[in-house]
Amino acid sequence: MDAARRVADLRREIEQHNHAYYVLDAPTIPDVEYDKLFRELQALELAHPQLIGADSPTQRVGGKPLPEFAPVRHVVPMLSIRTETDTEPTGARAFDARVRRELGLTDADPVIDYAAELKFDGLAINLRYEKGILVQAATRGDGETGEDVTQNIRTVRRIPLRLLGNPPEVLEVRGEVFMSRPDFERYNEKQRTLGRTTLVNPRNGAAGSIRQLDPAMAAERPLSFYAYGLGETRDWSVPETHSGVLDALAGFGLPVCEHRAVVQGADGLIAFHAGIREARDGLPFDIDGVVYKVNSLALQQRLGFVTREPRWAVAHKYPAEEALTTVEAIEVQVGRTGAITPVARLAPVFVGGVTVTNATLHNEAEARRKDVRVGDTVIVRRAGDVIPEVVSVVIDRRPTKDLFGGESLHAAFELPKACPVCGSAVERPEDEAIARCTGGLFCPAQRKQALLHFAGRRALDVEGLGDKLVEQLVDNAIVKTPADLYKLGLLAMVNLERMAEKSAANILVAIEKSKATTLARFIFALGIRNVGEATAKDLARHFGNLEALMNADIGRLQQVPDVGPVVAASIARFFAEPHNIEVIEQLRAAGVNWPEGEPLATVSSPMAGKTFVLTGTLPTLTRDEAKDMIEALGGKVAGSVSKKTDYVVAGAEAGSKLDKAQALGVSILDETQFRELIKG
Ligand code: IVH
């Protein structure tokens, strides 16, 4: 194919992907594949400059401004960063070598200082402050002209509407709006239970929210922000280094990410790249690599730009977390409460450091919305420690014709009518997103999950009773209910596959040990639908003993704080089931016991009835330990900060919860203050 033809084809393809990505917020290929196309086009245009047109996608930075938002002309253009696709240390060395060459330095000259920071994965925004007041926020658009999204940006709580200290006449701050992973998960979880559409990934969540025409809807989606640079400034003596600029921005009250450093030369860059790679999975947000910037602004000026990319900055990536693969089958999994989850079985693919062979499709509605079919090529994504998921189908690559020229090779996904494990009917209540197997504990899949839950760390805590063992115990019909665990003998255990006498004995000891428990743990261990750990504790505290709980009617149950009609109905239904009563009686007969009748809360404790939120890493206490301490004194631990929160206990790398606590004026304690409060 001749160059002109290939260039035209590449442009058309890239434009289509751009539209899908920027305008529709529905990406059609993984970023790496897109980058490949883009680089191929750049290379061809470099070799044949006569083919470069003003309309080539290489000649602009991003997507078109949407017609619905007023255009904003950037006084200082918003640039793009050159991406180093060599993810090895050589990528950092190449950048340092290039900078030194451009500056005319030799090996005899000293090393260069670089500001190293994270490459956030969201949407670039220019915030304009005049006399310290936020007057305008704009997207990057094509770099010259962006969209006025001030109303939506105002809903991002991390962005100050008024700067602190002595801000200059005009200060334009550039940074990234993004969605943290916990916020993304929480938002999608909520949407899923409401049967509404979910966000594809955090990046699209951020872009979509900011481009949401209704600011009220934008406000519903929790976004974060980090500043990383400057636009126009007036009447400000700009610091001499990039790191100095970021320090100054932090001083004005703008969020600046703490994962940044000033490092020396290529070795410093390499160490930073490696360090962040380690820290990456623990970050509460996705990153797209790291960014290196020449720290001295004077040197930055000397280096200047090539087209739209500064010579003084580069983005250094990590191995891809998205990849293409094909769907070999779509199966369903049955969870503890019978929830039926469709799962795509994939041709093995290496993503972000691990080989992925299956990915969740969440529920029927999601599977249908994404319209994943057997034989499809799909984008799979693995972010941090979350379960891999199918982002989208590459429709162009769907095998449409079968061998006989028939229409579609495979039909759209349909939920099975019967449970694939036990054959019981599958039902989905009209107002719920999740379909369930109605087999209950008759269903081996549910039985296994119920046993694992019962033996879990925060339930009866049987150490060593894991997946594999439960699988064998249930499949060999040795254990049917949790009560059967306490009838296990050494003989039955040792006869299991790959079970050494020593480990069998250890498990029997652990089972014995688990008999002494608490009422709250026992209630939680029962696995009553809608009764999580917190509710189990509330119930234990309220009723004091199991009989009172078992005999409570729906009205009584609803007197427990945070127990509404749905939870009350689940509890009543559970205890109305004779089989469940039987298992409870067997457990007690086997010797499972707890201190009876003592309510957990002592009214005199200053913690009684107080709500705590834990965030960040405490110096010496684990989250569970802190939680146990609070609850032992009658306090409660909540997952998010609200006006009802009494204290936030904050450790290192506390995130948005801390910000929210500050905004709401909630008391914030460090570990020392927390320990004092407990003693006191
Ligand atoms: S600096 C002169 N720093 O990457 C370079 N950009 O390709 C101007 N980005 O649209 C950008 N993290 O949205 C810079 N720490 C960081 C960044 C960052 C993410 C994004 C930004 C920009 C794109 C550039």
What pLDDT digit, counting tens, does each position of 56-82 carry? 777 643 334 445 788 999 999 998 999
Cross-strand partners of 84: 316
Q: Is the CB of 575 under 6 A from ligand 1?
A: no
Mean pLDDT of 269-286: 91
Q: Is the CB of 124 under 6 A from ligand 1?
A: yes
- The closest alpha carbon to 114, from 261, 301, 256, belongs to 261
Atom of ligand 1 nearest to the CA of 117: 15
| pLDDT score, position 61 | 35
| pLDDT score, position 389 | 86
pLDDT mean across residues, the chain: 87
| pLDDT score, position 454 | 95
What does 225-265 look like in DSSP terms, one character per residue?
EEEEEEEEEES----SBHHHHHHHHHHTT----S--EEEEH
Residue 605 DSSP symbol:
S
Distance (Å, whole) CA 549 – CA 538? 11
Residue 22 DSSP symbol:
I
Distance (Å, whole) CA 336 – CA 5? 56
The count of residues in the chain is 680
| pLDDT score, position 601 | 45
| pLDDT score, position 30 | 81
- Alpha-carbon 237 to chain mean position: 39
Residue 59 DSSP symbol:
G
pLDDT band at 158 (very low <50, low <70, confident <90, very high): confident
Q: What is the dihedral of CA 500, 501, 506, 512, to 10 degrees?
A: 130
Which carries the bigger pLDDT value, residue 275 or residue 598? Answer: 275
Q: Tell me how far the alpha carbon of residue 444 lies from the centroid of ligand 1, in angstroms.
A: 51
3-class SS at 10? Answer: helix
Instruction: Check pLDDT > 70 for residue 599.
Output: no
| pLDDT score, position 63 | 37
Mean pLDDT of 132-138: 93
Instruction: Check pLDDT > 70 for residue 603.
Output: no
577-583 contact pairs (CB < 8 A, 24+):
579/441, 580/526, 581/550, 583/481, 583/482, 583/483
Smallest CA separation from ligand 1 atom 21, residue: 124
Q: Is the CB of 25 under 6 A from ligand 1?
A: no
Residue type, 306: V
Residue type, 182: P
Architecture field, domain 604-679: 3-Layer(aba) Sandwich (3.40)
| pLDDT score, position 401 | 59
Mean pLDDT of 196-225: 80
Distance (Å, whole) CA 582 – CA 631? 30
Architecture field, domain 321-438: Beta Barrel (2.40)
pLDDT band at 605 (very low <50, low <70, confident <90, very high): low
Q: Is the CB of 230 under 6 A from ligand 1?
A: no
pLDDT band at 362 (very low <50, low <70, confident <90, very high): confident
Which carries the bigger pLDDT value, residue 601 or residue 123? Answer: 123
Hey, what CATH topology would domain 3-61 get? Answer: Helix Hairpins (1.10.287)
- Rounded to 5 degrees, φ, ψ at 197 are -70, 145
Q: Tell me how far the alpha carbon of residue 278 lies from the centroid of ligand 1, in angstroms.
A: 22
Helix-strand-coil split of the chain, %, nearest 5: 40, 20, 40
| pLDDT score, position 246 | 97
- Domains of the chain, by residue range, sit at 3-61, 83-317, 321-438, 440-513, 519-601, 604-679
Q: What is the dihedral of CA 231, 235, 237, 242, to 10 degrees?
A: -10
Instruction: Check pLDDT > 90 for residue 612.
Output: yes
For the stretch 370-419, pLDDT in tens is: 899 999 999 998 765 567 889 889 988 888 755 555 555 678 888 899 99
Mean pLDDT of 147-161: 87
CATH number of the 440-513 domain: 1.10.150.20
Residue type, 480: K
pTM: 0.54
| pLDDT score, position 335 | 87
Mean pLDDT of 33-47: 85
- The closest alpha carbon to 294, from 286, 303, 285, belongs to 303
Find the angle CA(16)-CA(17)-CA(20) to the nearest 5 degrees.
Answer: 90
Pocket test for ligand 1, best of 61, 228, 300, 318 (most atoms within 8 A of CB): 228
Beta carbons of 85 and 45 less than 8 angstroms apart: no
Distance (Å, whole) CA 52 – CA 135? 38
Active site residues: 119
Instruction: Check pLDDT > 80 for residue 53.
Output: no
Instruction: Check pLDDT > 60 for residue 22.
Output: no
- Of 165-169, 595-599, 614-618, least confident by mean pLDDT is 595-599
| pLDDT score, position 680 | 66
Q: Tell me how far the alpha carbon of residue 83 lies from the centroid of ligand 1, in angstroms.
A: 10
CB-count exposure of residue 553 (10 Å: 0-12, 13-18, 19+): exposed
Instruction: Check pLDDT > 90 for residue 499.
Output: no
Q: Tell me how far the alpha carbon of residue 117 lies from the centroid of ligand 1, in angstroms.
A: 10
Which carries the bigger pLDDT value, residue 581 or residue 54? Answer: 581
| pLDDT score, position 209 | 85
HEC secondary structure over 142-188: CCCEEEECHHHHCCCCCCCCECCCCCCCEEEEEEEEECCHHHHHHHH
For the stretch 475-487, pLDDT in tens is: 988 998 899 999 9
Q: Is the CB of 310 under 6 A from ligand 1?
A: yes
Tokens linked to 262: 């000033």
pLDDT band at 311 (very low <50, low <70, confident <90, very high): very high
Smallest CA separation from ligand 1 atom 10, residue: 124
Q: Residues 6 or more apart from 607 whose CB is under 8 A from it?
A: 630, 633, 634, 635, 677, 678
- Rounded to 5 degrees, φ, ψ at 392 are -165, 165
CB atoms within 10 A of CB 520: 22
| 519-601 matches 604-679 in fold | no
- Alpha-carbon 362 to chain mean position: 15
Residue 417 DSSP symbol:
S
Of the chain, the percentage scoring pLDDT greater than 70 comes to 93
Distance (Å, whole) CA 611 – CA 629? 13
Q: Is the CB of 421 under 6 A from ligand 1?
A: no
Q: Is the CB of 173 under 6 A from ligand 1?
A: no
Find the angle CA(273)-CA(278)-CA(282) to the nearest 5 degrees.
Answer: 120
Instruction: Check pLDDT > 80 for residue 523.
Output: yes
Instruction: Check pLDDT > 90 for residue 659.
Output: no
Atom of ligand 1 nearest to the CA of 312: 2
| pLDDT score, position 384 | 55
Residue type, 626: A
Q: Is the CB of 260 under 6 A from ligand 1?
A: no
Atom of ligand 1 nearest to the CA of 118: 15
3-class SS at 577? Answer: coil
Hey, what CATH topology would domain 519-601 get? Answer: DNA polymerase; domain 1 (1.10.150)
Give the β-pairing of 667-669 and 647-650.
parallel
CATH 3.40.1260.10 fits 83-317, yes or no: no
| pLDDT score, position 161 | 87
Tokens linked to 315: 């983005």
Give the β-pairing of 313-316 and 83-84.
parallel
Mean pLDDT of 248-266: 95
Averaging pLDDT over each range in 25-39, 62-76, 531-545, which range is the top one? Answer: 531-545
